[in-house]
Amino acid sequence: MDVQQRTVRLLIVESDGKMLEEMYAYMERLGYVLDSASTGTAGWHQASGGGYDAIVLDVMLPGMDGLTLCRKLREEAFSNVPIIMLTDSTSLENRVICLNWGADDFVTKPFAMLELEARVRAAVRRARAWGSTRILRWSGIELDPQRHTATCNGRELRLRPKCFAMLARLMRSAPGVVSREDLEHEIYGDAPPESDSLRVHVHLLRKALADAGAPVLKTVPHLGFRLDDGAGSPDGDAEG
């Protein structure tokens, strides 16, 4: 896996235990960070929390089927995460339905793991390229990467360049967690930062958000950082 040299968090929702195990093992070997679910309801609870770079979703799931879950994520969770559907049908009608209900791509069973991974990688690459220029909005914060402006409820957020890049990365995953490694790569690239540099920028961003009455930047112990608007997300340590 080499998707812009960043960790990819992938959720696989598949009810067939053997197939789920095969996909999990293959993608894990390539360096993906994985979660899984075997029912539509479990998939909804995990996916709606945010933080994933892509979702592989089977159409045939017990309880809530994959198409319903896909549409629910688009319409209720306002999620733009790339979704690759797994379908048993080769009909044109079925493929059109998948796309119309919000899927970005689909793979027809049986499939080669090489093809699935290639489609996941391509979907993540497209999403990251698009996400680097589109205006981001979340819980009163609006950030324009092209104009390099950020506001909270109409009030300007005056951010240093690295804090701006950090906020953009957090907003793309909000309210999900972004790992320390992902943040470091976002703002420093391949050059390793000095030991306290990330901590300093977290402090500066946290203060700027607090001064503007914006959502809190929280530290999630052993995992990373996330934005919290107080709407019921699990609490984390508020210190950097």
| pTM of the model as a whole | 0.60
- Total domains in the fold of the chain: 2
Specify if 238 maps to a domain.
no
Condensed to tens digits (0 to 9), the pLDDT of residues 104-148 reads: 888 989 999 999 999 999 888 877 766 566 788 888 899 987 777
Among 81, 112, 131, the domain boundary falls at 131
Specify if 23 maps to a domain.
yes
Specify if 165 maps to a domain.
yes
Q: What is the mean pLDDT of residues 30-48?
A: 94
Same domain, 215 and 196: yes
Same domain, 87 and 39: yes
Give the pLDDT of residue 191.
63
Same domain, 108 and 169: no
Condensed to tens digits (0 to 9), the pLDDT of residues 69-109 reads: 999 988 876 567 889 999 988 777 887 888 888 888 889 89
Same domain, 167 and 192: yes
Domain that holds residue 184: 136-228
Distance (Å) of CA 117 to CA 9, 56, 90:
13, 10, 20
Same domain, 45 and 146: no
Q: What are residue 144's DSSP bridge partners?
A: 149
| Cα–Cα nearest to 85, from 35, 123, 45 | 123
Same domain, 20 and 62: yes
Among 131, 152, 180, the domain boundary falls at 131
> What's the per-residue H, E or C state across 30-88?
CCCEEEEECCHHHHHHHHCCCCCCEEEEECCCCCCCHHHHHHHHHHCCCCCCCEEEEEC
Specify if 43 maps to a domain.
yes
Same domain, 114 and 173: no
What is the average pLDDT value for the chain, to the nearest integer? 84
Same domain, 112 and 191: no
Among 109, 131, 153, the domain boundary falls at 131
Q: What is the CATH number of the domain that holds 95?
A: 3.40.50.2300
